[in-house]
């Protein structure tokens, strides 16, 4: 009789015990609160907006914006996803027009020159769109439409080097030439923004 008791105790503690622990863990995991997508999006939006407003003030820009790459439809008949970008964040000075609504679901290939330059060199500096000696990478037509006199673009990349977007500074009221210290500082801002945006995308 004692042998059966000992065997039963051994079975309960050796088999049912671990199974109970696993079941309890799975039960509690299912009851864990899932991340709130809306709240997380609002939190990241507030953080990014605060940062680009700070950039606008620090570098006396008239308009600061961020684009992000995303999928947008499919090619016929292959079904391959199209690469597009949109202005996701923007802050503008008083009296300066917004460009956000005009740059939504834009095919990457329409801006292949500038995007490829950012992919390779990380920075585009255009201190004067009217200077024929300054490379504009096809952006001079957009500058005319948006009233931009000077523009500085920085690639936003993840820590592992993936190109996920662009940080842009526009000067519409006056031509502005940024020095190398400012360019380097803005590259640091772009890298920091890449970390924030990628963390959000991974959640």
Confidence of residue 110 (pLDDT cuts 50, 70, 90): very high
How far apart, in Å, are the Cα atoms of 39 and each of 44, 75, 79? 9, 34, 33
How wide is the angle at C-alpha 26 spanned by C-alphas 24 and 29, nearest 5°?
Answer: 110
pLDDT digits (tens, 9 = 90+) for 135-162: 999 999 999 999 999 999 999 998 888 9
Residue 165 has pLDDT above 90, yes or no: yes
pLDDT digits (tens, 9 = 90+) for 186-195: 999 999 998 8
How far apart, in Å, are the Cα atoms of 84 and each of 63, 67, 107? 22, 10, 4
Contact 198, 165 (CB under 8 A): no
- What is the rounded CA–CA span in Å between residue 160 and residue 98? 32
- What is the rounded CA–CA span in Å between residue 34 and residue 195? 22
Residue the block writes with tokens 């360019």: 183
Ramachandran angles phi, psi of 79, nearest 5°: 80, 5
- Strands of the 106-107 sheet, one edge to the other: 106-107, 81-92, 63-74, 163-171, 150-157, 123-126
Chain-wide mean pLDDT for the chain? Answer: 84
């Amino acid at each position: 009789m004692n042998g059966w008791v000992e065997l039963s105790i051994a079975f309960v503690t050796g088999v049912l015990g671990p199974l109970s622990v696993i079941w309890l863990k799975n039960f509690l995991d299912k009851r864990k609160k899932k991340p709130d997508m809306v709240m997380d999006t609002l939190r990241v939006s507030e953080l990014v907006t605060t940062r680009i407003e700070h950039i606008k003030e620090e570098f006396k820009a008239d308009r600061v914006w961020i684009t992000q790459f995303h999928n947008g439809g499919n090619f016929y008949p292959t079904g391959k996803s199209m690469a597009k970008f949109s202005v996701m964040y923007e802050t503008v000075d008083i009296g300066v027009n917004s460009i956000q609504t005009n740059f939504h679901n834009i095919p990457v290939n329409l801006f292949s020159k500038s995007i490829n330059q950012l992919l390779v060199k990380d920075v585009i500096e255009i201190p004067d769109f009217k200077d024929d000696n300054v490379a504009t990478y096809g952006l001079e037509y957009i500058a005319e439409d948006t009233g931009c006199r000077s523009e500085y673009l920085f690639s936003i990349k993840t820590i592992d080097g993936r190109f996920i977007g662009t940080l842009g500074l526009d000067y519409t009221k006056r031509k502005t030439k940024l020095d190398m210290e400012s360019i380097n500082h803005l590259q640091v801002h772009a890298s920091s923004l890449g970390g924030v945006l990628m963390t959000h995308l991974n959640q």
